[in-house]
Amino acid sequence: MQVNETLSEGLKHEFQVSVPVTDLDAKVDERLAEMKDKVRMNGFRPGKVPAGHLKKIYGKSVMAETIDQLVRDTNAKIFTERGFKLATEPKVTLPTDQDEINNLLEGKSDLNYTVAIEVIPPIPLADFKSFTIDKPVVDVSDVDVDEAVGRIAEQNRPFADKGEGAKAEAGDRVTISFKGTIDGEPFDGGTSENIPVQIGSNTFIPGFEEQLIGIAKGEERTLKVTFPTNYGNDKLAGKDAEFVTTASLIETPQQITPDDEFAKKLGLESLDKLKEAARERIKQEFDGATRQRVKRQLLDKLDEAHKFDPPQTLVEQEFGMMWESIKKEMESVNRTFADEDTTEEKAQEDYRKIADRRVRLGLVLSEIGEKNNITVTDDEVSRALVERARQFPGQEKQVWDYYRNNPQMLAQLRAPIFEDKVVDFVLELAKVDEKKVTREELFKDDQAPAA
C-alpha cells in the first residue's frame, strides 16, 4: 500500500492512496474462508463449498465490503500516525467510471482513491491561574422583596362586578367575546369566547384595549387594529383587522393588602413565609445574572488568550446557520439592512467574526475538557432531559422518546452541560474577585459579542 500526501495547505491535507489488488484479494479470501463454514448451499455439505464457487457467488459483494472497511481502516491509520485531529468527516473520492468499478469488484485492478481532510490545529492552552474575573454581587434588599410581594399581590388582585349600566374604565377588567376578520375574511386564532382583558395591561394588540373604554355589559363594538410588523404570525404581521366584540362582564379592581391572610390564599403559612419565598426567587434571579456575566468575562479571556486560525469549514458551517437565522428574522419583521444602519456585506463581515469566535471558543473548551478528563455522564444528560420534558406538561413521554431516538438532539442537551463544567473548572483556577454592584448594573446590557 502506498500513501502520498498531495496537498498540505494550512489545515487542509489530501492523500493519494493505492492498494495493490493482491492485498484486496488476500482480504477477500480471508473473508470467504470465514464464511465457508456458515454458508448453506444446495448440493454441498456444510463447510464443503469450494472456495472458487463461493468467490463466484459472493466475490463482488465481499470485495465491496472489503474495500469499504479497508478505506476506513487505512484512513484511520493515516490520521493516527500523523497525529491529526479531524475537524470534519474526511472526503473520500473513489473511482466513478463503471469499467473501473467493475474491474475493482472483480479483483482485476488496484484500488486508487483520494482522501481530503481539514484538521484542528494544536491548541496550546493558556495559564488559567493568570486570569482575573470580576464577579458582580447584588444583595437582596428589603425593598426588592417588598416590590416583589407587591407585584404578586397585583397579579392576584380581586375584581368585582361593577353592576348593570356601568361602563369600562382604564384598569377595569372586561370579559369579552370577539370575531376577527381581515379584509372581511375570518382568520385562524381570530375568534375567542369569554376572554378577560384588563384595560391598560398591554396584553393585547396595541390599540385594542383602549377601544374597550366606555363599553357596557352586553354592548357590541367593532374594534379596528393593525397587527405589529414584528407579530409572531407572519400571515398577520402588519395587517389591518377588525374585531366584532361583545362585553359580557365589567369588573373593577378591589383593594388588596399583602398580609398573612393573603399569603394563606397562596398556600403559604404567613406573610413572612411569602417574603422568604420572594427573597429566594430574587436571589436565584441575581445568581443567574451573575453567572452569565462571569461566564461572559471568562469566555472573553479565553478568546483573547487563544488566537489561532480555526478550520474554515467549521466557520462556514457556523456562519451559514447564523446567517440563515438572521435573514429569516429580518424577513419576519419586514426590516432591511439599511433599517439597521448597515449593509448586507458589512453584516456578513460582522457575523463571520462572531462565527470565527464561536468556533475557536468551542475548540478551546473541547481541548480543556479533553486535557483535564472533563466528561458529561449519562445521568447528567438524563436529568437535563427530564427538565426539558417538564417544560411540556402532558407531552413528557413524547418529548422523552423524541430526544432518546435522536442522537443529535441529545447532543444539544449534552453540549451546554459540558460547557458549564469546563467553565467551572477554569473558574476554580482563576482569581475571582467579588464586586458589589447595584441591581441596575447587574442587568445592564453590555452589548458584548455572542460566544
Q: SS3 letters for 42-78?
A: CCCCCCCCCHHHHHHHHHHHHHHHHHHHHHHHHHHHH
pLDDT at residue number 449:
44
> pLDDT at position 61, please?
87
Long-range contacts of 223-230 (CB under 8 A, 24+ apart): 223/178, 229/333, 229/334, 230/332, 230/333, 230/334
Determine the angle formed by the axes of helices 344-371 and 312-332, rounding to 10 degrees. 130
Domain boundary among 65, 99, 118: 118
**Range 216-245 average pLDDT:** 90
pLDDT, mean of residues 155-179: 94
pLDDT for the residue numbered 447:
45
The reply to whether 233 and 317 lie within a common domain is no
Burial (Cβ within 10 Å: 0-12, 13-18, ≥19) of residue 54: buried
Whether 300 shows a pLDDT value over 60: the answer reads yes
Query: Parallel, antiparallel, or unpaired: how do β-strands 240-253 and 173-182 relate?
Result: antiparallel
Arithmetic mean of pLDDT, 14-28 = 92
Longest Cα separation, the chain: 103
Amino acid at 46: P
Tell me, yes or no, whether 167 and 95 share the same domain: no
Residue 71 grid coordinates? 478505506
What's the pLDDT at 402? 93
In a domain, 153, yes or no: no
| In a domain? residue 123 | no
Average pLDDT of every residue of the chain: 91
pLDDT at 433 over 50: yes
Q: Are 100 and 236 found together in one domain?
A: no
Average pLDDT for 169-186: 95
Over residues 261-287, the pLDDT tens digits come to 999 999 999 999 999 999 999 999 999
Residue 314 lies in a domain: yes
- Assess whether pLDDT exceeds 80 at residue 289: yes
| End position of a domain, from candidates 118, 143, 178 | 118
Q: Is 421 left (phi over 0), alpha (psi -120 to 50) or beta?
A: alpha
Together in a domain, 85 and 162: no
Residue 384 DSSP SS3: helix
CA distances to 88, 366, 404 from 415, rounded to whole Å, are: 18, 10, 15
The H or E element that residue 383 is part of is helix 378-390
Q: Looking at the structure, do residues 335 and 429 belong to the same domain, yes or no?
A: yes
Shared domain for 16 and 107, answered yes or no, is yes
Number of separate domains in the chain: 3
* CATH code of the domain covering residue 331: 1.10.3120.10
Q: Are residues 430 and 301 in the same domain?
A: yes
- Euclidean distance between CA atoms 333 and 231, whole angstroms: 7
Q: Calculate what percentage of the chain has a pLDDT beyond 70.
A: 94
Do 163 and 287 belong to one domain?
no
249-268 average pLDDT score: 95
pLDDT at 50: 62
DSSP-assigned letter for residue 211 = G
What is residue 120's three-state secondary structure? coil
Does any domain span residue 42? Answer: yes
Predicted local distance difference test score (pLDDT) of residue 329: 84
Q: What was the pLDDT predicted at 232? A: 75
3-state secondary structure of 105: helix
Place of cell 448597515: 342
The predicted-structure confidence for 28-55, as pLDDT tens digits, reads as follows: 888 877 766 666 665 565 655 666 656 7
One domain, residues 363 and 235: no
CATH of residue 8: 3.30.70.1050
Residue 248 and residue 217 in contact, taking contact as beta carbons nearer than 8 Å:
yes
- Is there a domain that residue 265 lies in? no
Q: Are residues 69 and 164 in the same domain?
A: no
CATH assignment of the domain containing 200: 3.10.50.40
152 occurs within a structural domain: no
pTM confidence score: 0.77
Q: How confident is the model at residue 257 (pLDDT cuts 50, 70, 90)?
A: very high
Residues 203 and 284 in one domain: no
Gap between the terminal Cα atoms of the chain: 45
Task: Label residue 234 by pLDDT band (50, 70, 90).
Answer: confident
Q: What confidence tens digit (pLDDT) does each residue in 118-134 have? A: 999 999 999 999 999 99
Please name the residues in contact with 332: beta carbons below 8 A apart, sequence gap of 6 or more. Answer: 230, 234, 237
Average pLDDT over residues 362-372: 96
Average pLDDT over residues 407-430: 95
CA atoms within 13 A on the CB side of 368: 24
> Last residue of a domain, which of 96, 118, 140?
118
Amino acid at 151: R
Cβ-contact 414, 116 below 8 angstroms: no
362: containing domain: 270-442
Answer yes or no: is pLDDT of 448 > 60. Answer: no
The answer to whether residues 95 and 165 belong to one domain is: no
Which ranges in 214-270 belong to alpha helices (H)?
A: 260-265
Q: Is residue 450 part of a domain?
A: no
187 domain residue, yes or no: yes
